[in-house]
Chains A and B, each alone.
Chain A
């Protein structure tokens, strides 16, 4: 029985970690798009819809509050670390310049602050939608009547 419980907890932790990693990736892409705003085919503000969608996904999920907080914290830490790789990996000479790179990092830190309210708004939206889905009348199930 204890082994089953450990396995269940491990699977649970894996699912939460997978969500956090995906959300971190989505967040870093969003930051990269904000950095490359001039090159984006859609207005760069629209890229903020992506972390909102990620937040909705977290809000809809069956997660405890501390799991949610962990996911969001992971995203806020991971996204600014990954975004420069996405932006500057094919670096030109300008991006190799230390001063430019420092400016990029500062800008990323500022942009990362934008992610947090977006994800939180998404979580609230997701929880709201989840409440609506849950409050829908469930189909009747055949349950045996309790004998009085």
Chain B
């Protein structure tokens, strides 16, 4: 075989190796990417129960959020819950949970079910945020049930912030959550 033909053979072989390596890497990467895209489409958060309980001067927010996520092999952890509370067009405050404000109950058997439900129980002292918001807006405290003869509710709207662990990094994913918060007077 002539040197020229040998060079050409090596050149085509190297180009073929580069192409095959590219295709193999792309297929492996694209599969995980599609799983991630599918996961972000399927993940849902719903507010199962929520109440704002006045206990003297203290106002405690209790909420249970159900997070439904397809079990596709990504490890995800709940970073925090961020939300605003509005009542009758008035902003009651912006809230976010600290690690001590929530208890995350993972699903019992992730592998057996296509969709795993994680429950997030939030218990947060909201007095400071409500007071700051009321002072800033020039309004009073949130309306409680029975004060004007009707049941008072507030609207919660926000995100459950998840950290998704990918093969070579972590990404924050925000899952919207919304619902009504009952206003209760405590004893």
Residues of A whose CB lies within 8 Å of any CB of B are: 19, 22-23, 25-26, 29-30, 32-33, 36-44, 47, 49-51, 53-54, 56-58, 60-62, 86-87, 90, 92, 94, 126, 130, 133-134, 138
CB-nearest residue of chain A to B15:
A57
Give residues in B with beta carbon < 8 Å to A.
3-4, 6-8, 10-12, 14-15, 17-19, 21-23, 25-26, 28-30, 32-34, 36-37, 40-41, 166-171
Q: Nearest B residue to A23 by beta-carbon distance?
A: B15
7 further A-B contacts with Cβ under 8 Å, apart from A39-B32, A40-B167, are: A30-B22, A32-B29, A47-B25, A57-B15, A60-B10, A86-B30, A92-B37
The closest CB in chain B to the CB of A47 belongs to: B25
Contacts of B8 in A (CB 8 A): 61-62
Structural contact, A57 and B25, CB atoms closer than 8 A: no
In the docked arrangement, what's the CA distance between A114 and B149, Å? 68
Q: Are A29 and B22 in contact (CB under 8 A)?
A: yes
Name the distance in Å between A36's Cβ and chain B's nearest Cβ.
Answer: 5
By DSSP majority rule, is chain A's interface helix, strand, loop, or mixed?
helix
Q: Tell me whether A133 and B167 are in contact (CB under 8 A).
A: no
Bound-state CA distance A94–B171 (Å) is 14
- Contact at B7–A61, with CB atoms within 8 Å? yes
Q: How far is the CB of A137 from chain B (nearest CB, A)?
A: 11
Asked if A39 contacts B168 (CB within 8 A), the reply is yes
B25 touches A134 (CB 8 A): no
Cβ–Cβ < 8 Å partners of A94 in chain B = 40
* Cβ contact within 8 Å between B169 and A37: yes
Task: Knowing A33-B29, A36-B33, A60-B14 are in contact, say whether A26-B19 is a contact too (CB < 8 A).
Answer: yes
Residues of chain B with a CB closer than 8 A to A57's CB: 11-12, 14-15, 18
Contact A138-B168, Cβ < 8 Å, known A33-B26, A33-B29, A53-B18? no
Contact A39–B166 (Cβ < 8 Å): yes
**A-B residue pairs, 5 tightest by C-beta:** A57-B15, A61-B11, A53-B18, A57-B14, A29-B22
29 CB < 8 A contacts A-B? A19-B15, A25-B19, A29-B25, A33-B25, A36-B29, A38-B168, A39-B32, A40-B25, A40-B28, A40-B167, A40-B168, A42-B25, A44-B168, A51-B18, A57-B12, A57-B14, A60-B7, A60-B10, A60-B11, A60-B14, A61-B8, A62-B4, A62-B11, A90-B33, A92-B37, A92-B41, A126-B14, A134-B3, A138-B3
